[in-house]
Amino acid sequence: MSPGGAMEGQSVEELLAKAERDEAEKLQRITVHKELELEFDLGNLLASDRNPPTGLRRAGPTPEAELQALARDNTQLLINQLWQLPTERVEEALVARLPEPTTRLPREKPVPRPRPLTRWQQFARLKGIRPKKKTNLVWDEVSGQWRRRWGYQRARDDTKEWLIEVPGGADPLEDQFAKRIQAKKERVAKNELNRLRNLARAHKMQLPSAAGMHPTGHQSKEELGRAMQVAKVSTASVGRFQERLPKEKAPRGSGKKRKFQPLFGDFAAEKKSQLELLRVMKSKKPQLDVTRATNKQMREEDQEEAAKRRKMSQKGKRKGGRQGPGGKRKGVPPSRGGKRKAGLGGKMNSGPLPYGGKRKGGQHQGGKRRK
Amino acid sequence: MRPLTEEETRVMFEKIAKYIGENLQLLVDRPDGTYCFRLHNDRVYYVSEKILKLAANISGDKLVSLGTCFGKFTKTHKFRLHITALDYLAPYAKYKVWIKPGAEQSFLYGNHVLKSGLGRITENTCQYQGVVVYSMADVPLLLKQKNRRVIAPHSERP
């Protein structure tokens, strides 16, 4: 119609063409051409590319651009695969459900060592004893039903007996029930001890050395000495009130061993702790020298008194002598001196004024005021 | 050979701080390398990390000395500063005393220095302060504790 319309038509065509080009680009970007298909393990979000990396080999010393392109392509393919998975909606988010992982990951920790055999297992192996296959349930006469071999409501329960005959040779006044309970406790304790011993042997833990404790006839002097020491310390007060024989000497080296830092400890940590120590020391040191402050204070007071006395003496010649204020005041409160000194920021060199004194060139300012 | 314990470090720092004050942290924390203090046979050595690593290869009974000996701990665990520490302490000294060349020799042979033998002195050194004594050519001679009038390097030889 009008030139404006023609312009519009042109722009519309242009827009359409542009849209088409964009689409093509997008498709190009989304679809990646590979010679060999990638292998996907979506359970582990893994994509394996078996194509030979000729592009990389040609790239030369800095294959950054090629690597990046390769990564982008492979990731695109992985994402394409992910989009094909069944999706569901979880709390306003679109979520893809991953399948089971197919790649088997290697062990994280090394294979466990074979455990050493327990004492029973060694014995059984030696004797050739094999575990007998036992039935689960046993017929219980008393209750007239099948009951389990051990455990809750077992077949022959010792503890449930209400009558125990006193055996032939035993004391008639002994409590057989208590005896039974005691025997059971001892068996349980023994079993526990053996279990722990087996465990300790399996972990190669150090059992407390019972080297000299079991009295055989052939113990060396050191072993006997050690056994005696242990016996002495095994009291409720850890051996504090045990008397020694008249000529017995105190044991050597029975104190706690001192532990030192290792020779090559962490140097940074050592430095830090030393600096910390220095800081604490500095903060504890009095920022003002108390003696100096008090001396200065006393000197000034003396001067004041002297001046007053002179005035007094002049007046006193006319009015009659009047004793000036008394002698030296002892025990000057250091706070007065402190206020005076603290204003200088804790430095004891009140001699040269901070911004006066030497100013030859710019070099003497700052640090070297001491000279 | 072992590092110093907390107690020992504190005692040593207190002694050294009498001569160099806050500059002690420049000794501990050096910009040009890691230096540390190690104790060997009651003597304290100031040694750089490299040399320490080499010295660790020598067995304790064969090791005589390493780095610089700063001083030693006495039987009652007091710290005595040695002259060998002078090179490290002199640059950081807070209070310095210069002696005239005439008095210098006498001083080095152990005699007291009179006030007339004194060249320069840092301002505001108070009595019984730990100082570093220099010759007029700025060569550090000694570490001493100073009296006010007659400079008497006292029986307390540090």
Q: List the domain boundaries for chain A.
A: 13-96, 266-304
Candidates B124, B128, B131, B134: best to mutate against A (most CBs of A within 10 A) is B124
A270 and B38 in contact by Cβ < 8 A? no
At position A143, the amino acid (one-letter code) is: S
Kindly state whether residues B56 and B102 are assigned to the same domain: no
3-state secondary structure of B60: coil
Kindly state whether residues B100 and B82 are assigned to the same domain: no
Give me the pLDDT at residue A23, please: 82
Mean pLDDT is lowest, of A236-240, B14-18, B120-124, for: B120-124
Kindly state whether residues B76 and B134 are assigned to the same domain: no
What DSSP character marks residue B151?
A: B
B49 and A270 in contact by Cβ < 8 A? no
Residues of B in contact with A275 (CB under 8 A): 25, 28-29
- Is residue B37 within 8 A of residue B46, CB to CB? The reply is yes
Give me the pLDDT at residue A190, please: 96
Kindly state whether residues B67 and B9 are assigned to the same domain: yes
- Res. A191 pLDDT band, cuts 50 70 90: very high
Q: How far is CA A102 from the centre of its chain?
A: 37
Residues of B in contact with A262 (CB under 8 A): 3
- Is residue B132 within 8 A of residue B95, CB to CB? The reply is yes
Compare B40 and B134 and report the one with higher pLDDT.
Answer: B40
CA separation for the pair A44, A47 (Å, rounded): 9
CA separation for the pair A131, A111 (Å, rounded): 27
Kindly state whether residues B82 and B121 are assigned to the same domain: no
Q: Helices A290-319 and A334-342, interaxial angle, to 10°?
A: 110
Give me the pLDDT at residue A59, please: 74
Q: How far is B13 from chain A (nearest CA, A)?
A: 8
Give me the pLDDT at residue A267, please: 84
Mean pLDDT, to the nearest integer, of A158-182?
Answer: 87
CB pairs under 8 A between A and B: 63
- Is residue B98 within 8 A of residue B135, CB to CB? The reply is yes
Backbone dihedral region of B128: left (phi > 0), alpha (psi from -120 to 50 degrees) or beta?
left
Is pLDDT above 80 for A75? Answer: yes
Give me the pLDDT at residue A192, please: 95
A263 and B28 in contact by Cβ < 8 A? no
Give me the pLDDT at residue A339, please: 44
Give me the pLDDT at residue B75, please: 92
Kindly state whether residues B57 and B122 are assigned to the same domain: no
Mean pLDDT, to the nearest integer, of B47-67?
Answer: 89
Query: What residues of chain B have any CB closer than 8 angstroms to a CB in chain A?
Result: 1-3, 5-6, 9-10, 13-14, 17, 22, 24-25, 28-29, 34, 36, 38, 49, 52-53, 56, 94-96, 122-124, 126
Q: Please tell me which residue of chain A has the smallest CA distance to B125.
A: A349
CA separation for the pair A74, A245 (Å, rounded): 87
Residues of B in contact with A271 (CB under 8 A): 28-29, 34, 36
Residue with tokens 């907390």: B6
Is pLDDT above 70 for A332? Answer: no
Q: How many CB atoms lie within 10 A of CB A263?
A: 14
Candidates B25, B63, B77, B148: best to mutate against A (most CBs of A within 10 A) is B25
Is pLDDT above 80 for A219? Answer: no
The string of pLDDT tens digits covering residues A341-356 is: 444 444 444 444 444 4
3-state secondary structure of A173: coil
Give me the pLDDT at residue A126, please: 94
The answer to whether position B107 is within a domain reads yes
B129 closest CA partner among A198, A291, A127? A291
- Res. A19 pLDDT band, cuts 50 70 90: confident
A271 and B2 in contact by Cβ < 8 A? no
Mean pLDDT, to the nearest integer, of A107-113?
Answer: 85
Kindly state whether residues B99 and B84 are assigned to the same domain: no
A42 phi, psi to nearest 5 deg:
-70, -20
Kindly state whether residues B82 and B106 are assigned to the same domain: no
Residues of A in contact with B9 (CB under 8 A): 274, 277
E strand or H helix at B52? helix B49-55
Kindly state whether residues B53 and B104 are assigned to the same domain: no
Q: How many CB atoms lie within 10 A of CB A55?
A: 13
B38 closest CA partner among B16, B61, B70, B15? B70
The string of pLDDT tens digits covering residues A235-249 is: 999 888 888 888 887
Give me the pLDDT at residue B144, please: 67
CATH at B64: 3.10.450.220
- Is residue B153 within 8 A of residue B112, CB to CB? The reply is yes
Q: How far is A330 from chain B (nearest CA, A)?
A: 22
Residue with tokens 């108070």: B126
CA separation for the pair B72, B46 (Å, rounded): 12
CA separation for the pair A5, B26 (Å, rounded): 84
A282 and B22 in contact by Cβ < 8 A? yes
Give me the pLDDT at residue B72, please: 92
Q: How far is A365 from chain B (nearest CA, A)?
A: 16
The pair of three-digit structure tokens given for residue B120, joined into one six-digit string: 């320069």
Residues of B in contact with A349 (CB under 8 A): 123-124
Nearest to A275 among B29, B52, B95 (CB): B29
B36 and A282 in contact by Cβ < 8 A? no
Mean pLDDT, to the nearest integer, of A158-185?
Answer: 87
The answer to whether position B55 is within a domain reads yes
**Which stretch, A39-48, A274-283, A318-327, B93-102, has highest mean pLDDT?**
A39-48
At position B39, the amino acid (one-letter code) is: L
Kindly state whether residues B118 and B62 are assigned to the same domain: no
DSSP states of A32-85 as a string? ---SSPPEEEGGGTEEE--S--HHHHHH-S--HHHHHHHHHHHHHHHHHHHHTS
CATH at B113: 2.30.130.10
Q: Please tell me which residue of chain B has the smallest CA distance to A352.
A: B123
Give me the pLDDT at residue A30, please: 76
Mean pLDDT is lowest, of A2-6, A170-174, B71-75, for: A2-6
- Res. A286 pLDDT band, cuts 50 70 90: low
A263 and B25 in contact by Cβ < 8 A? no
Dihedral angle over CA of A175, A180, A185, A188, nearest 10: 170
Overall domain count for chain B = 2
Residues paired with A139 in a beta bridge: A146
Mean pLDDT, to the nearest integer, of B56-72?
Answer: 89
B28 and A275 in contact by Cβ < 8 A? yes
Give me the pLDDT at residue A287, please: 58
Residue-range definition of the domain harbouring residue B107: 95-146
CA separation for the pair A346, A350 (Å, rounded): 10
Give me the pLDDT at residue A338, please: 41
In order of A170, A270, A316, A329, B86, the CA distances from A322 in angstroms are 113, 67, 6, 19, 60
The pLDDT mean for chain A works out to 77
Residue with tokens 């094909």: A84
Nearest to B14 among A263, A281, A371 (CB): A281
| Apex B157 CA angle, B115 and A349, nearest 5 | 55
Mean pLDDT, to the nearest integer, of A182-208?
Answer: 84
% chain A with pLDDT above 70 = 77
What DSSP character marks residue B113?
A: B
CA separation for the pair B136, B105 (Å, rounded): 12
Kindly state whether residues B37 and B104 are assigned to the same domain: no
Residues of B in contact with A261 (CB under 8 A): 2-3, 5
- Res. A124 pLDDT band, cuts 50 70 90: very high
Is pLDDT above 70 for B148? Answer: no
Q: Helices A176-203 and A119-127, interaxial angle, to 10°?
A: 90
Provide the whole-model pTM. 0.41
Q: How far is CA B40 from the centre of its chain?
A: 18
CA separation for the pair B88, B72 (Å, rounded): 16
B52 and A264 in contact by Cβ < 8 A? yes
DSSP states of A206-222 as a string? PPP--TTTS--S---HH
Give me the pLDDT at residue A123, please: 93
Residues paired with A220 in a beta bridge: none
- The residue out of B49, B71, B88 marking a domain boundary is B88
Q: Would you report the helix, strand and coil content of chain B in percent, each value rounded to 5?
A: 30, 30, 40
**Which stretch, A121-130, A236-245, B16-25, has highest mean pLDDT?**
A121-130
CA separation for the pair A70, A68 (Å, rounded): 5
Give me the pLDDT at residue A318, please: 59
A281 and B94 in contact by Cβ < 8 A? no
CA separation for the pair A283, B22 (Å, rounded): 11
Give me the pLDDT at residue A359, please: 43
- Is residue A263 within 8 A of residue B38, CB to CB? The reply is yes
The answer to whether position B155 is within a domain reads no
Residues of A in contact with B94 (CB under 8 A): 370
A36 phi, psi to nearest 5 deg:
-100, 140
Compare A44 and A249 and report the one with higher pLDDT.
Answer: A44
Kindly state whether residues B8 and B83 are assigned to the same domain: yes
A27 closest CA partner among A19, A36, A15? A19
B123 and A349 in contact by Cβ < 8 A? yes
Secondary structure string (H, E, C) spanning A218-274: CCCHHHHHHHHHHHHHCCCCCCCCCCCCCCCCCCCCCCCCCCCCCCCCCHHHHHHHH
